Amino acid sequence: MPAMKIIQTPGGDFTQKVEARLKQLRFHPDFLRERNEEVINLTREFIESGGKREEIHKLRGQGHVEASRLWQACSEYALIKDTYPARVRFLSELLKYIGGVTKDRPKVADDGCGGGVDLFCLTHILGDAVELVGVDPDGFALNVARDRNPGLELRESLGDAGKFDLVYCDFVDWGRGRMTEYDVDGKRDEWSAALAEGGLLIQNVDFPDWQRETYKDIISTSFNPLRDELIQTIPEFEDCHLIVFEKK
């Protein structure tokens, strides 16, 4: 018996709440303080040069202090620029599932929480309705997430954090052409161990079709795929695929 049911047609106010919150966020004093022109320009250069990832990895490799700042800038950039409609759309989709969890206070992990923008939005939208935990193996990203989400539990792995009702992953790195090099079996087992009976694994990915199918095959030994759908395409942004799995 699954621990939760899924609401297929959400109340329209979920989307409205997300939109209202994100609009507010764009003018939040903390947000404006962090978003200085220099950082935005630096980030834009990285993105436009196509070298963003490599540069960031290089900086991280050197333990460069700027890496943390870049992390912050990249996630702000995502909010204010091209990815804004996609983020609203995606968070609305995610909230449908969280809203469908029958427990009073479901436990939700953002696995690969990065700089914690989604955590910030979810905290403000959901308040105490959900117990949120942010997870990221990248210490730089976690520091940014910590600044942005004081008081929230943040950790380097799902590890012994207890059982979750829902694990959410937003563009975690294994989707970027590197999935075949990545230990997907290990990650699947980690998710499976961390999820409660009938728990949901929700992923926002941009894998090419062939990779998605391989990925689903691997994951399907422990999970039933419930949904795989393109949810947003805008010219400046990658295709977003929402994949939802239920723990067997």
Chain positions contacting ligand SAM, by CB under 6 A? 75, 111-118, 135-138, 141, 170-173, 187
Neighbour-count burial for 57-80, b at 16+ CB within 10 Å, e otherwise: eebbeeeeebbbbbbbbbbbbbbe
Cross-sheet strand order for the sheet of 164-170: 153-155, 131-135, 107-111, 164-170, 195-205, 240-247, 223-232
Of residues 3 and 69, the one with the C-beta less far from ligand SAM: 69
Choice between 44 and 187, CB closer to ligand SAM? 187
Least distance CB 91 / ligand SAM (angstroms): 9
Gap between the Cα atoms of 100 and 11, Å rounded = 11
- Closest to ligand SAM by CB, 14 vs 120, is 120
To ligand SAM, the closest distance from the beta carbon of 180 in angstroms equals 15
**Are residues 166 and 98 in contact, defined by beta-carbon separation less than 8 angstroms?**
yes
The distance of closest approach from Cβ of residue 112 to ligand SAM in the complex, given in angstroms and rounded to an integer, is: 3
Burial 182-214 (b: 16+ CB within 10 A, else e): eebeebbebbbebbbebbbbbbbbbbeeebbee
CB of residue 52 vs ligand SAM: minimum separation in angstroms? 11
Q: Which is nearer to ligand SAM, 116 or 199 (CB)?
A: 116
CB of 140 to ligand SAM, least distance (A): 9
C-beta closer to ligand SAM: residue 34 or 118: 118
CA-wise closest residue to 78 among 237, 241, 239, 243? 237
